[in-house]
Chain A
């Protein structure tokens, strides 16, 4: 059954149909919320609110775009409202270097062989995480959404309210700025084209 068919049923009051839509899109919605808020607990709240809001606004959903795009736009707006009202994002930025580097360092360890290389790899990933966290919001949002793997550039463009070409540029610019930040921190050749 397609999303449109489920939406039609949900509009008629079929809660099970909307439950199926929740199951289909919860991962994408949660990731978008996480990219905006930087906190899993905030992302959970935002995702729930987004689904509830979508359910109540089903009557206003015009099928000019897909249900997923429409839902993600609602999610992003909710997440931005949460981000504005919360300072937890900044706490996350500060703590990312400690918390986020653990899993990243383990995964990257497969490419390293010596203890020195392991330590260097973990340190580099940690530095990248910090550099991403302090990027300008527009660049960071574009990079995180693009790399999450859940959205096309068109869906990201609809979420962020910018053309797809602009989103691509922002992703590229985000990478460039991360490399520049790494170079400033002494990582050689990080800025090399």
Chain B
């Protein structure tokens, strides 16, 4: 057998490949498998450690949820701290837009947002956009139904319709159609 002989080279490759998987399981292999077969199914236990691992995570999520909910309550503006807007202010002409901060004059918004203990402050027109945009709590407004005065019209001046141009339709000339007799 030489390395230059292709057939022997093939058999040499096969030999080396065979040797790469030539190891055998030791004599205790079957006994070890039997021992493991007698053990309870570890798959049944796998769920418990997972559950125990998940329990602290669940508690952490619960605590985080409680903290967040508590935080939300604190962040909510105290309804008693804001004075209810004056009825006259709401019913004033031009004050019907109190719920729309963008259209409300700054003085009106400032008046509405003032707490009882606060000194009335006249805000200048240079207030920040954030202050003017922040809507007041909806619960603090009692918007009464608006009484709309009837709309009166003196007269309606309707301009006359523009006279349409006449449409002239020319006569359609149809040439003679010859129909052959039916067989």
Contact = CB atoms under 8 A, between A and B. Distances in A.
Given A129-B20, A192-B6, A47 B37 contact: no
B15 to A, nearest CB: 7
Given A23-B30, A132-B20, A144-B20, A175 B10 contact: yes
Interface string B26-50: 1001101110111001000000000
Interface in A80-124: 96, 100, 103-104, 107-108, 111, 120-121, 124
Interface in A120-134: 120-121, 124-125, 128-129, 132-133
Contact of A15 (B21, B23, B32, B37): B37
Interface residues of B, number: 30
B3 A190 contact: yes
A144 B21 CA distance: 7
**Main DSSP-derived SS at the A contact region:** helix
A40 B22 CA distance: 10
A166 to B, nearest CB: 18
B33 A104 contact: no
18 contacts: A22-B34, A34-B20, A35-B20, A48-B29, A51-B33, A51-B37, A52-B37, A55-B37, A100-B16, A100-B20, A104-B15, A104-B19, A108-B15, A147-B14, A147-B17, A147-B21, A189-B4, A190-B9
Given A34-B20, A104-B19, A133-B20, 7 more contacts: A96-B20, A100-B19, A145-B21, A148-B18, A175-B10, A175-B14, A190-B3
Interface of B: 1, 3-4, 6, 9-10, 12-26, 29-30, 32-34, 36-38, 41
